[in-house]
């Protein structure tokens, strides 16, 4: 039972354009959502988070949008840079992330010049 | 560097052997988590400590797996009688809130 789904295994974007990564979840009790970025041979790196009381959170080039009614969140990266090429994981949890996280399978983003 | 560290980074073992991994969290973080990641999947939760207390264990953590966090500092994850299906990346994370991950230990069981 996959509670967090990332249906696009890969995404290719041209440098300077917007990258949009999507994530769907099934458990309406999740109240905290995060995006992690992972480079090969490294652990996941925290990128940005959003609480269920918000519908948008922004940090520099990264913006996360949350649509609770659709149980959907997305990560926008603009402008995309070659250094953004990595695997991006969506994760969901409870109570501000103090407990276990449920991860999606990841989306591999390739930003090409 | 004061990030989460894990040792060893790689471990190759024969089926049936026991292995132990170590995680050193960020020093002021009282919460510590273990996850397992297999190819093409996201990390899956294994267990969670607050200080030295193990507060939650996943059903993935069979009786061959044991984790400890003595004195609420570093943590160890032991797998007894390893099986080929145990081959995976074992990730440790620590947090005051958002979870910060270590580089992982890649286990290969031959």
Chain A residue with CA closest to B29: the answer is A98
Other CB atoms within a 10 A radius of the CB of residue A111 amount to 21
Share of chain B above pLDDT 90, in %: 81
pLDDT of residue B100: 93
- A4: DSSP letter: E
Residues in chain A with CB shorter than 8 Å from the CB of B6 are 43
Put simply, the answer to whether A106 touches B42 (Cβ < 8 Å) is yes
pLDDT of residue A96: 60
pLDDT of residue A1: 64
Whose tokens are 């093409």? That residue is B40
Residue B46 has pLDDT above 80, yes or no: yes
Put simply, the answer to whether B42 touches A105 (Cβ < 8 Å) is yes
Chain A residue with CA closest to B41: the answer is A105
When the pLDDT of each residue in chain B is averaged and rounded to a whole number, the result is: 94
Q: Are A82 and A17 within 8 A, CB to CB?
A: no
Both tokens of A83, joined, read: 């250094």
Q: Is B1 on the interface with A (CB under 8 A)?
A: no
pLDDT of residue B2: 76
Q: pLDDT band for position A28 (50/70/90)?
A: very high
Question: Mean pLDDT across the stretch B38-47?
Answer: 94
pLDDT of residue B96: 83
Q: pLDDT band for position A97 (50/70/90)?
A: low
Residue A98 has pLDDT above 80, yes or no: no
Q: Is B102 on the interface with A (CB under 8 A)?
A: yes
Q: pLDDT band for position B71 (50/70/90)?
A: confident
Q: Is A48 on the interface with B (CB under 8 A)?
A: no
- What are the residues facing A23 on neighbouring strands? A73
Q: Is A102 on the interface with B (CB under 8 A)?
A: yes
| Burial (Cβ within 10 Å: 0-12, 13-18, ≥19) of residue B18 | exposed
pLDDT of residue B83: 96
Q: pLDDT band for position A5 (50/70/90)?
A: very high
Tell me the residue length of chain B: 110
Residue B104 has pLDDT above 80, yes or no: yes
């Amino acid at each position: 039972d996959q509670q967090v789904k990332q249906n696009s295994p890969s995404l290719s974007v041209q440098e300077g354009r917007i990258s949009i990564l999507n994530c769907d979840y099934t458990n309406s009790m999740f109240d905290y959502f995060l995006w992690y970025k992972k480079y090969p041979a490294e652990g996941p790196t925290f990128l940005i988070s959003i609480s269920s009381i918000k519908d948008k959170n922004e940090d520099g080039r990264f913006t996360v949008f949350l649509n609770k009614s659709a149980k959907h969140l997305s990560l926008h990266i603009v402008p995309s840079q070659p250094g953004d090429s990595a695997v991006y994981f969506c994760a969901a949890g409870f109570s501000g992330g103090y407990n276990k996280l449920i991860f999606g399978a990841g989306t591999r983003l390739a930003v090409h010049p | 560097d004061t990030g989460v560290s894990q040792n060893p980074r790689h471990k190759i073992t024969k089926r049936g052997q026991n292995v132990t991994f170590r995680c050193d969290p960020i020093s002021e973080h009282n919460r510590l988590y273990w996850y397992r990641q297999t190819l093409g999947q996201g990390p899956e939760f294994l267990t969670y400590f607050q200080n030295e207390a193990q507060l939650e264990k996943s059903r993935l953590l069979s009786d061959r797996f044991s984790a400890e966090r003595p004195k609420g500092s570093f943590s160890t994850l032991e797998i007894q009688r390893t099986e080929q299906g145990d081959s995976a990346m074992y990730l440790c994370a620590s947090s005051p809130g958002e979870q910060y991950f270590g580089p992982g230990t890649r286990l290969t069981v031959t």
